[in-house]
């Protein structure tokens, strides 16, 4: 059986340059993007309004979890970034049997269509 979550996907709720974190793991996680962070409880979704410098650049990404009061780094990478897309981060339980504290991290770039972007661009 599957669960379906319907979330707002407009550019006001999830603007260009931001990150949406889906924590579907059984553990709380802390997502750190350069100098900003968000705590995300199990089965919670949060948007982190991290905006990279104009013209783009890179963002240092780390994800931590805590199990039995122990904080553990589970993911670290440097991503290229700009203001022309949005990023979904999916934290999910590991499919490995008998390993409840192992989780997977996935990243998906979302580049909204020109029509959707045009609706939310400031008017001159």
Q: Look up residue 30 and give its two tokens.
A: 């802390």
pLDDT of 23: 92
* Other Cβ atoms within 10 Å of 110 Cβ, number: 12
pLDDT of 84: 75
pLDDT of 1: 67
In degrees, to the nearest 5, what angle opens at C-alpha 39 toward C-alphas 36 and 42? 150
Q: Which residue(s) pair with 25 in the sheet?
A: none
Predicted TM-score (pTM) of the model is 0.78
pLDDT of 72: 87
pLDDT of 44: 93
Q: Look up residue 22 and give its two tokens.
A: 């889906």
* SS3 label, residue 98: coil
pLDDT of 29: 92
pLDDT of 86: 85
In degrees, to the nearest 5, what angle opens at C-alpha 29 toward C-alphas 26 and 31? 150
pLDDT of 64: 92
pLDDT in tens, the chain (124 residues): 677 777 777 888 888 888 999 998 888 999 998 888 899 999 999 999 876 666 667 888 999 987 667 788 988 998 887 777 888 899 988 777 666 667 788 888 887 665 555 555 555 5
d(CA 82, CA 11): 15
Rg (CA), the chain: 16
């Amino acid at each position: 059986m599957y669960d379906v979550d319907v979330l707002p996907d407009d550019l006001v709720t999830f603007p260009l340059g931001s990150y949406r974190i889906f924590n579907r793991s059984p553990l709380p996680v802390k997502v750190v993007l350069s100098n900003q962070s968000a705590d995300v409880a199990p089965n919670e979704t949060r948007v982190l309004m991290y905006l990279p410098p104009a013209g783009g650049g890179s963002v240092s990404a780390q994800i931590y979890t805590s199990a039995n009061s122990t904080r553990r780094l589970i993911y670290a990478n440097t991503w290229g970034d700009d203001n022309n897309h949005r990023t979904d981060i999916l934290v999910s339980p590991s499919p490995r049997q008998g390993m409840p504290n192992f989780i997977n991290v996935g990243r998906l770039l979302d580049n909204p269509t020109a029509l959707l972007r045009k609706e939310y661009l400031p008017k001159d």
